[in-house]
Amino acid sequence: MPLVRTRGIILRSLKWGDADRIVTVYSPNFGKIRGVARGARRMKTRFGGVLEPFGLVDLSLFQKTPESLGQISQIDLVASYSSIRENLTVMTAAARMVKMVEAITVDRDPNPGMYTTLVHGLKSLRPEADVALSALLFQIHVLGHTGFRPQFDSCTECGQLAKQHIPQWFSPRLGGVVCHDCGQRGVGRMLSLSKGSVAFIEQARRLSIPNLSRLKAIGSVRIEVETAMEAYFYAVVGKSLPTFEQWVS
Ligand SMILES: [Zn+2]
């Protein structure tokens, strides 16, 4: 299937050579795909200004084999979500979202649920909203759409049901809760994760992305969930995400 026509979100747009760009797009039916936009950086180009990250595009990509780098023959902007770029905090949240999807997916592995989550996630970002919370909730959902869904119902070390052993810890390496006994024995780095924090994560998983704005997380729950999800994400993909703190000085 050499010619791919699809809608998708631009995850990344990288300068390539003197005049080209390599564009990475996340699409509902093909997953993550990549292609070269030849001459994209020349003054007059058919790609004029549509290759920016976060944009929703319709794309035609010619690829000899699924493994080869494709050639983008046509790309049309459907929605730019340009308001994302008007506010640094909003832009950081959006950058976190696209980088999460880029880091946790492999090429050509379709996951329509992940795609829908990304579209809704970007749409949910508004300067007046708690966008750091939106990015956190998005992170919980993204993990839920992969094989890296963290385990909260039983201890990841001994398998004891969490109901009998109230979870006390979260292990980024093991990808889930660790019971009090295993925690005492030591299983590497552990983070505290209270019952309230686990309940928050499970509630966030159950609600669909458009309904997540109802959720609020404050105080220690917010800190615990943010710390646990960030550490776990890093353990899974080995890459850090853009941080909100980098803009504060
Ligand atoms: Zn245990």
CA proximity to 162, closest of 203, 140, 205, 193: 193
Q: In which element (H, E) is residue 220 found?
A: helix 219-237
**Would you state the torsion angle of the CA atoms of residues 92, 84, 232, 199, taken in this order, to the nearest 10 degrees?**
120
Instruction: Using the mean position of ligand 1's atoms as its centre, give its distance from the Cα of residue 227 in Å.
Output: 21
Per-residue pLDDT at 248 exceeds 70? no
Instruction: Using the mean position of ligand 1's atoms as its centre, give its distance from the Cα of residue 228 in Å.
Output: 18
Report every protein residue that has its C-beta within 5 angstroms of ion ligand 1. Answer: 155, 157-158, 160, 179, 182
Instruction: Using the mean position of ligand 1's atoms as its centre, give its distance from the Cα of residue 183 in Å.
Output: 7
Question: Token pair 């983008």 is at which residue?
Answer: 72
Instruction: Using the mean position of ligand 1's atoms as its centre, give its distance from the Cα of residue 185 in Å.
Output: 9
Q: What does the angle CA 237 – CA 239 – CA 242 come to, to the nearest 5 degrees?
A: 125
Instruction: Using the mean position of ligand 1's atoms as its centre, give its distance from the Cα of residue 224 in Å.
Output: 20
Residues 145-172: tens digit of each pLDDT: 998 999 998 899 999 887 655 667 999 9
The model scores a pTM over 0.75? yes
List domains and CATH numbers for the chain: 3-80 (2.40.50.140), 83-149+192-247 (1.20.1440.120)
Residues 50-95: tens digit of each pLDDT: 888 999 999 999 988 877 889 999 999 999 888 898 999 999 999 9
The pLDDT assigned to 99 comes to: 97
Rounded to the nearest 5 percent, the helix, strand and coil shares of the chain are 40, 25, 40
- The pLDDT confidence band at residue 249, using thresholds 50, 70 and 90, is very low
Question: Of 86-95, 163-172, 180-189, 239-248, which has the strongest mean pLDDT?
Answer: 86-95
The pLDDT assigned to 244 comes to: 84
Instruction: Using the mean position of ligand 1's atoms as its centre, give its distance from the Cα of residue 149 in Å.
Output: 18
Instruction: Using the mean position of ligand 1's atoms as its centre, give its distance from the Cα of residue 175 in Å.
Output: 13
The pLDDT assigned to 163 comes to: 64
CB atoms within 10 A of CB 127: 12
The pLDDT of 12-39, averaged and rounded, is 93
Instruction: Using the mean position of ligand 1's atoms as its centre, give its distance from the Cα of residue 162 in Å.
Output: 9
What is the per-residue DSSP string for 82-94? GGGGG-HHHHHHH
The pLDDT of 180-198, averaged and rounded, is 88
Instruction: Using the mean position of ligand 1's atoms as its centre, give its distance from the Cα of residue 144 in Å.
Output: 23
Residues 123-152: tens digit of each pLDDT: 989 889 899 999 999 999 999 999 899 999
CA proximity to 11, closest of 118, 99, 108, 120: 99
Instruction: Using the mean position of ligand 1's atoms as its centre, give its distance from the Cα of residue 217 in Å.
Output: 27
Instruction: Using the mean position of ligand 1's atoms as its centre, give its distance from the Cα of residue 63 in Å.
Output: 49
